[in-house]
């Protein structure tokens, strides 16, 4: 079953012809429902309308974009999606009545190109391929909404640690930057525990891969910051650290 490990995929459909929007949404519904995959799908009749939604903080994992629309073209819209979401790229499937535009968009890191009229079987194949790529990428990024920068999608390997402060604000410390979002540290831990993150203190969640030294009372991170290990967690954290180090050594050999 395709949906055994089910991530909800957020989809945008943008076409200035409502008849094609309805066709695409119906095909999405049929394909993903059959595969027991959770999704949400928003429709837009112009690139400008979709950009307004992006500015309000909307996030899309997959976008079906008509190339030729009144106003902003699908190609321009694709550039906007890449700008908003940065390193974590929205998977883009372009749609056009003109097959000669396929070569034009494939140099833009396009996932697929569909011709109008849309072939339902080709659509199903391309949508499921897009979902598989989306699901594969989920373990590599941490996604959140920074209180000033907006939507952020960070490679997990770049995150050194999380620190929760007053007002449920969580600081995200990376190799090069600092971000802040609202949340609960325990929920972040539940999301990232499988990615080798250790909850060493009620205020600190650290990336094992960035620990450079560990003692009974504290850890030193790769940026030289020293963080405390809470008393009740010292034995547990030490055991988990040694377990992860053993796994790493076994992987090397």
Q: Each residue of 184-197: pLDDT tens digit?
A: 999 999 989 988 99
The pLDDT, as a whole number, for residue 204 is: 98
Amino acid 4: pLDDT: 41
Cα–Cα distance list, 36 to 8, 29, 137 (Å):
10, 10, 19
Element (H, E) at 134: helix 120-137
| Average model confidence (pLDDT) across the chain | 87
Using one digit for the tens of pLDDT, what is the confidence trace for 200-232?
Answer: 999 999 999 999 999 999 999 999 999 999 999
The per-residue pLDDT for 78 is 86
Alpha-carbon span 45 to 16, nearest angstrom? 4
The rounded distance, in Å, linking the Cα atoms of 247 and 71 is 55
The Cα-based distances of 138 to 40, 145, 147 in angstroms read: 17, 16, 22
pLDDT beyond 60 at 61: yes
Instruction: Give the integer Cα–Cα distance in Å for 29 and 24.
Output: 9
């Amino acid at each position: 079953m395709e949906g055994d490990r089910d991530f909800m995929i957020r989809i945008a459909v943008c076409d200035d012809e409502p008849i094609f929007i309805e066709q695409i949404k119906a095909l999405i519904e049929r394909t993903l429902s059959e595969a027991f995959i959770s999704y949400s799908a928003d429709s837009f009749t112009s690139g400008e309308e979709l950009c307004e939604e992006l500015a309000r903080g909307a996030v899309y994992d997959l976008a079906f974009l008509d190339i030729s629309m009144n106003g902003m073209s699908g190609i321009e819209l694709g550039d906007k999606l890449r700008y908003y979401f940065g390193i974590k790229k929205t998977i883009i499937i372009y749609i056009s009545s003109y097959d000669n535009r396929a070569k034009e968009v494939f140099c833009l890191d396009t996932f697929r190109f569909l011709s109008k009229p849309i072939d339902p079987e080709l659509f199903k194949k391309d949508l499921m391929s897009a979902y598989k790529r989306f699901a594969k990428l989920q373990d590599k990024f941490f996604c959140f909404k920074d209180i000033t920068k907006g939507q952020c999608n960070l490679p997990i390997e770049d995150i050194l640690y999380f620190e929760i402060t007053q007002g449920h604000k969580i600081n995200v410390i990376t190799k090069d930057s600092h971000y802040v979002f609202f949340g609960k540290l325990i929920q972040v831990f539940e999301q990232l525990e499988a990615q080798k993150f250790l909850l060493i203190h009620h205020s600190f969640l650290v990336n094992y891969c960035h620990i450079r030294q560990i003692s009974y009372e504290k850890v030193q991170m790769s940026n030289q910051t020293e963080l405390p290990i809470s008393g009740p967690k010292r034995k547990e954290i030490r055991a988990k650290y040694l377990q992860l180090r053993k796994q790493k050594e076994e992987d090397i050999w």
